[in-house]
Structure 1
């Protein structure tokens, strides 16, 4: 990979730039040194947090950051809801998830009435049995569609992996025999469409720690992919892959 030909870097966050509240030093240092050299953006599939909290967190690590640098499944989700004119949904998400949708789409209703035409499942850190039951009942109606923000099975944490949206989706598949028709986060390229409209794929690099989301999205978009071993994946995961990452590094401190 010729880094001199790159114009845009896209960084995953959890497990790539930091683990919990602990910065991954080599990668954070690379970002600080290259903010003026490259157009750097940050991408998270985690829909449980306020996007402004990511800005604050990265600024606290010495990264000169603003909200337009953030990419999240919430953004194309809200765009799609608006473009289709959907009036009522049943969201499976926490308070931050609901607040984002209310701010973007003040006329969108949340409920389980006959007018509800869609169940949207996100990373719900406030998940209850009632939410699972209501959403499963809705998904037994053939007129109700099924979307999800992202397919990650687990969310990394300093104490170990935690169940994420992909784990919830496995429950729905068992309970109502349905999979989401549309997923907005990695490995879908919907989440990076604004950047693909500005740069050629060969000018872009995706940096992440997950093979089944970060790597696959990069391949789907035609970007180079740098796997960092600071999060979920290990070198033992690499043999047998159909396609190897462009680079495999402990962190981006090894990239000059």
Structure 2
């Protein structure tokens, strides 16, 4: 029930923002959560931005945030690599900012498929993608016994004019060549939710996941045992929600409608 919710786990792209613009009502909702003694954490599959990038991004939009407000796909990818591939050489297909974030966190990274000792391939969203990068990744996955990871399974990324291909689409394209899919680290895996609960000391029944994608946000809630809200401001449609195997607990037009419903429930 909405009146019990105190921890809001919010997707960003398509839920709180579209491109560089806030979805209507987002700022007021975030302010009201804090004013009522709650907490919000952005759990995003976008691996192109570091937490520092996001803090600056929201500052420009007039919203104050700090490190406690974010869990990102790049963060959980770094955590996974430290636990499972410590000290190993990792080949990365991704943006310069993502590679920079990995290096900053002492992950041994290369973009040269000919380097000796590569044990793992990591694929992420890449708006600097080239055919050479795709070919090099295929060569590694086809000829070397390496682990294969990806930051997130999202097929598209919502922006101002519509959508552009995301990490999941890149992996699908690679799969046609190498007959192999990666282990996806971000949502819908439950790790982000579990980390958020541990950090903020809330129970699952006090927590709500809010997002615009059925196969990441809503499925993540199903895996983690947390109630979900599907907002129709991004990728999914009401018709797709009705047909989806794992039904969201609530379907709303946007966070503006959620804000109104939650405010009424606690008044």
Q: TM-score, normalised by structure 2?
A: 0.89
The superposition leaves residues 59-117 of structure 1 with CA deviations (integer Å, 9 ceiling, x where unpaired) of 233322112311111112112222232420110001100110010116x1414323001
The correspondence for 2:221, drawn from 218, 226, 250, is 218
1:71 aligns with 2:71: yes
Shift of 1:142: 4.7
Q: Distance in 2 between matches of 1:114 and 1:215?
A: 40
Gaps in structure 2 of 5+ consecutive residues = none
Aligned partners of 1:76 and 1:22: how far apart in 2? 26
Name the residue aligned to 2:55.
Answer: 55
Aligned ranges 1:166-185 → 2 under 5 Å: 166-180=168-182, 182-185=183-186
2:2 equivalent in structure 1: 2
Shift of 1:133: 1.1
- Hey, what does 2:96 align to over in structure 1? 95
- Rounded Cα–Cα distance in structure 2 between residues aligned with 1:230 and 1:146: 32
Task: Name the stretch that deviates more: 91-100 or 191-200.
Answer: 191-200
More helix by share: 2
Instruction: Give the total of aligned pairs.
Output: 253
- The answer on whether the counterparts of 2:102 and 2:109 sit within 8 Å (CA) in structure 1 is no
Partner of 1:42: 42
Structure 1 residue aligned with 2:153: 151
Aligned to 2:195: 194
* 2:249 matched residue in structure 1: 246
Measured on the aligned residues, the alpha-carbon RMSD in Å equals 1.6
Deviation string, structure 1 residues 9-38 (Cα, Å, up to 9, x no partner): 111011111111221122321111112421
Q: Is the 8 A contact 2:228 2:248 kept in 1?
A: yes
Say whether the 8 Å CA contact 1:189–1:217 is kept in structure 2: yes
Give the conservation status (yes or no) of the 8 Å contact 1:32–1:62.
no
Distance 1:15 1:103 in 2: 28
Moved more, 149-158 or 69-78: 69-78
- 1:78–1:105 contact (8 Å) kept in structure 2: no
- Paired with 2:192 and 2:128, the residues of 1 have a C-alpha distance of 24
Could you say what secondary structure the match of 1:52 adopts?
helix
Taking structure 1 as the reference length, the TM-score comes to 0.93
